[in-house]
Amino acid sequence: MEVYLLYLLFGILFWVIGSIPSGYLIVRLIEGKDVFLAGNGNPGLNNINENFGAQLTAMLGISDLIVKVLIPRFVLFAASSYQVIPPNDEWVVLYGILCVLIGNGWSMFSKFKGGKGVYILFTSLMFLSPVNWLWVLLIPLFSKMFRLDSAPVVLLSLLLILVFYRNDPPSLIISGLIIGVVIVKRLFSNRVSESSGQTMRTLINRLVYDRDTRGKV
């Protein structure tokens, strides 16, 4: 019972860490603007890059890497090293990633608005299993080279998590929850386009292309 209580406390801690509105704070402090009112209203890397430039995008990438990827991993590593929680349980790391993603998507500090967390997810997976996930760094490169839409590739990559953990039931369950969180955030973004009259088509476009219309951005 005490171990499960610790897992609950870790989950709350990681949700709070994930809730830190890095994109909002960086744009507000440097540009004096509200990122939720810019572009598609998402405080993630893509929207900040399109509306505020590469410098702020890099700052957000570094900030999220340290705060939302490395710090949770360090906390779990320290807890397992001191035998507070059992070591070598990969599902625990996935559980931490899940809680961070929930906080990042529905931040307690910004009226439960937030980013989609794809960068945080894939970066966390690369630290968890570099051999299996380092290739995701090629997604933006190939998208630029071959003029491909990266959103469907990212969606397919999410489903591969289930393949990696198909023989590990606890990790498989949490992987499904992680994918569910990312998909729900894709479907129900922070701002709804006024031109999205056909709800079903809009939801399909959001699911596959991560926006309300199929045309390239």
Considering only CA atoms, which of 119, 121, 104 is closest in space to residue 22? Answer: 104
More confidently predicted of 199 and 191 = 199
List the structure tokens of 68. 């939302």
d(CA 139, CA 123): 13
212 has pLDDT over 80: no
Exposure string (b/e) for 161-175, b if CB count within 10 Å is 16 or more? beebbeeeeebbebb
pLDDT band at 35 (very low <50, low <70, confident <90, very high): very high
184 token code pair: 């729900």
**What was the pLDDT predicted at 46?**
86
Span of 5-19, 140-154, 190-204 with lowest mean pLDDT: 190-204
